[in-house]
Chain A
């Protein structure tokens, strides 16, 4: 899901750079307000984790590969705005040092994986969880936050691919950039993620979430932003640990 250089037309990658810039500047302002220096080691770990988890290419036998991004768990643990920066940093290193994702497409890749995904994931987690303190709601919320977040990010990526033939074609009618139309690109991206990679992301999210609720409940952003509603879980969690 790292779009390489050449797949997106300038009419697509320039606005998406713009969108990512806006999100980065808001995110940095939010981090300045919400975080303290004690969070810094966790930011480094989040960026490192997202970098590593994307190296685990999961194969569809005889088909393509895909990977988790870690945006769901990072958004739940550190908040969606912090996740924007942590995942963007890892995508920037991947593009510049390892050629994973294009330089022109960096804004688009950050938009898809570091903006759309953490916000969808965070929203889904809170939606499923509601006001409940029950473990079933918490854990299914964590699973679905990863599953839905990655799937939506992929569908958005599929749209960006699929729009290209509509935006730019040469005098011979051939597409200039990503060649497949929406009717091919969106289902291709959506299906593989709905059936496999999304599940992997969901499992990764719920396992790590379980670990943090058990051992570090005070760190979980999604459980601390509303202290009254969450005090029960946090004190229970601490007792368990």
Chain B
């Protein structure tokens, strides 16, 4: 690894440690989730009903670490903070590894 690459990886690691800001700041400023990403219960509150097709598809996939948080939506802030850092590390490793494998398979030019 070159020196400059090492620096960039350190930068990414620092970024990983800062990811809890992504959960602390919205909580502090009382901001809810993103527009268009409501769960079925929230939609029920917004519309008074849950669209039929949406209901059918919404729970198609149960992600192992839903919303980057261990312990669900009602986890305490401390648990969320730790979950975010762990998810960040896991995500970096998973995304890095996947693209590494893909590019190893297709990129042949050694120079």
Chain A residues close to B by CB (< 8 Å) = 1-7, 9, 28, 31-32, 35-53, 55-67, 85-86, 89-90, 92-100, 102-104, 157, 161, 168, 170, 174-179, 185, 188-189, 192, 215-216
Question: Is B88 within 8 A of A98, CB to CB?
Answer: no
* Chain B, range 1-56, C-beta contacts under 8 Å to A: 1, 4-5, 8-9, 12, 15-16, 18-19, 21-23, 25-26, 28-37, 39-40, 43, 47, 49, 51-56
Main secondary structure of the interface of B (DSSP, over half): helix
Residues of A within 8 A of B36 (CB): 1, 3, 7, 157, 161, 178, 185, 188-189
Question: Is A43 within 8 A of B61, CB to CB?
Answer: no
User: In the complex the two chains form, what is the Cα distance from A39 to B108 in whole Å?
Assistant: 11
Contact pick for A176, options B8, B43, B54, CB 8 Å: B54
Given A59-B25, A98-B68, A179-B51, does the pair A189, B95 have CB atoms closer than 8 Å?
no
Residues of B within 8 A of A45 (CB): 5, 8-9, 12, 96
Task: State whether the Cβ of B91 lies closer than 8 Å to any Cβ in chain A.
Answer: yes
Minimum CB–CB distance from B93 to chain A (whole Å) comes to 8
Given A55-B87, A85-B99, A178-B36, does the pair A37, B107 have CB atoms closer than 8 Å?
yes
